[in-house]
Amino acid sequence: MKKIFILLLLSVFVATKAQTPKWASKARQAVFSIVSYDKDNKIKGNGNGFFIGEGGHALSDFGLFDGASKAAVVTADGQQSEVDRLCGANSMYDIVKIRVALPKKQQSLTIASTPARVGDVVYVLPYSTQKSVQCQTAKVTAADSIGGGSFYYTLELAASEKTVSCPVMNQNGEVLGMIQRNASNESKESYAIGASFGASLAISALTFNDSSLRNIQIRKALPDDMQQALVYLFMASTQMKEEDYTEALNEFISTYPDNEEGYLRRGQLFMDKNHEQAENDFKQALDVSAMKDQTNYAIARTIYQYAIVQKDSTAYAGWSLDRAAEFVQTALSEKEEPIYIRLMADIQYAQQKYQEAANNFLKITGSNIGGPSAFYGAAKAKEKIEGADFGEIEILLDSAINRFTQPYTSDTAPYFYERALVRSELGKNKEAIIDFNLFYETAKGGVSALFYYQREQVEMKVKMYQQAIDDISRATEMEPNDPDFWMERATVHMRVNQTGEAADCLKKVLTLSADNAVAYRMLGYCQVMMKEKKEGRLNLEKARDLGDKVAVQLIEKYCK
């Protein structure tokens, strides 16, 4: 009996030793408690997690973070720290990778290089504030590969709520996985997602399309790859709050201090908020740039876009068209790239230096970025020059359109419209109408009232009266409060002797423009022609009183 008792004590001793490995006391410092909060700063949930590698990176369960606005961890020594970045998430496997803002170096777990095998005994390391820690042992009953060298484990273990998101360790004190939340508290089995899978989670340029990450309001870390990070910043510029985007830019600059793109983007962000900061960022971008012509071009383009949009008195004088021209000229002095010449042409056009702009547009017509738009730009610039040669402008627009292939798409619409206007100036009215019709077709009918007015003007010149009436009627339907369109409609009706319709249009004009002398005169004339001499005389006299001299002649002729 005594011998049996001694054997029992020995077995208890051995079991206790098995549940408290030597590495547990140190490793337990890597396990923490975590609390997440919603947007109203109310506690959303609490659980566990553990640090892996350097820099405060850690793993925890996704459920705690879904919909969370912030989270904080409490380490084994009682130190509380904020979760400052979300570094990756996978809702299907209920795991997140986070970064914690730690005040000092923190103990972390080493991820096992060799996966566990079926039959292996493993340890579940709980969160503990005590130096001594009691591990739970479990046997691996399944190890399923989920790709990428990662595994999903099934353990012979009745896990509790307290062990969710705690690390599963091997005999050597390396972390194999993270305990998952069980669907049933009665289950005799538990599951663990491989730690290497969690460690591989990362933010990518496609993060903004990931609903798992979008629901978490904690700031996202930058992608680890620099090119991915640049794409991420591009997408973030339109989808992030300005404060978060600024922080992302700051992080990029801190991570990649020799990449000019971060300084350029931050400078652009601060252009109308902090001029000194923007100037410093542009200078720093040039200092670190290996291809200064490209950086000078980028700064020139940014300043040009600012100067075009900000034209009021609040605009910063340093971001002028002249300043943009200086930067692009510096770029051109280093390398005459067609794209630099194109920007210079755009700047000169905005500066009303139309001849210089036209010359530069023509320089790039044969380049890889020339194409229709270069001919179009030259045409528009020459159109602005005093004494413009519309025949030359038509040739330029022909060259632009000839570079498109049929069937024509909406991209060609502006070209047909401009050529229609030029041809009408040249008196090529039938050709102008053809271009107006092509514009309508390529714009898929998405035209303005002004278009109908302009086409009607040309139709009248070639005596297409019914088409003209239809077009000007459409213009008044689209812009019923524009008196000029109603006046033009009245004029067209009078031209084809539809005096009643004209009178109705003129009455509409007078409801919109009560002191319109010409409208009173035209209405009076129409009424006289319709034998409404009394009303006609009154309106002609009203026109006369408003200073219309033609009305005096009409009174003398028709109202005696």
pLDDT value of position 320? 92
Nearest to 143 by CA among 181, 170, 116, 167: 116
Give, for 239, the enclosing helix (H) or strand (E): helix 226-239
pLDDT of residue 14: 38
Residue whose entry in the numeric block shows the structure tokens 């005594």: 2
- Percentages helix, strand, coil for the chain (3-state, rounded to 5) are 55, 15, 30
pLDDT at 245 over 70: yes
CA–CA separation, 60 and 93 (whole Å):
11
Instruction: Please state whether the peptide bond connecting residue 257 to the residue before it is cis, i.e. omega within 30 degrees of 0.
Output: no
How confident is residue 428, by pLDDT bands cut at 50, 70 and 90?
very high
What average pLDDT score do residues 335-347 get? 96
What band does 4 get if pLDDT is binned at 50, 70 and 90?
A: very low
Q: SS3 for 156?
A: strand
Return the pLDDT at 7: 42
Give pLDDT, residue 13.
38
| pLDDT band, very low/low/confident/very high, at 5 (cuts 50, 70, 90) | very low
pLDDT tens, position by position, 42-63:
999 999 999 998 889 999 999 9
pLDDT for the residue numbered 340: 97
- Asked if the model's pLDDT at residue 12 lies above 70, the reply is no
pLDDT confidence bin for 313, thresholds 50/70/90: low
Alpha helices in 462-498 (DSSP H): 465-478, 483-495
pLDDT at 19: 58
pLDDT for 480-513, tens place per residue?
A: 999 999 999 999 999 999 999 999 999 999 999 9
Lowest pLDDT segment from 155-164, 387-396, 467-476: 155-164
Q: What is the mean pLDDT of residues 383-405?
A: 95
DSSP summary character for residue 131: S
519 token code pair = 């409208």
Q: What DSSP character marks residue 220?
A: B
> Which of the listed ranges 102-111, 149-158, 217-226, 472-481 does the model predict with the highest average pLDDT?
472-481
3-state secondary structure 157-184: CCCCHHHCCCEEECCCCCEEEEECCCCC
Give the dihedral sign, CA 246/248/251/253.
Answer: negative
How many CB atoms within 10 Å of residue 54? Answer: 9
Q: Tell me, what's the pLDDT at 3?
A: 46
Average pLDDT, the chain: 91
Q: With 50 as the cut, is the pLDDT of residue 227 above it? A: yes
Q: Average of pLDDT values for 434-439?
A: 97
**Beta-ladder partners of 97:** 59, 88
Region 81-97: mean pLDDT is: 93
- In this prediction, residue 161 carries a pLDDT of 83
**What pLDDT band is residue 383 in, cutting at 50, 70 and 90?**
very high
pTM over 0.85, yes/no:
no
pLDDT digits (tens, 9 = 90+) for 100-146: 999 888 999 999 999 999 999 999 999 988 877 889 999 999 999 99
| H, E, C per residue of 288-329 | HCCCHHHHHHHHHHHHHHHHHHCCCCCCCCCCCHHHHHHHHH
Would the pLDDT of 449 be above 70?
Answer: yes
DSSP-derived 3-state class of residue 144: strand
The pLDDT of residue 208 is 73
SS3 of residue 439 by DSSP: helix
Q: What is the pLDDT of residues 258-267, one digit of tens each?
A: 999 999 999 9
User: pLDDT above 90 covers what percent of the chain?
Assistant: 78
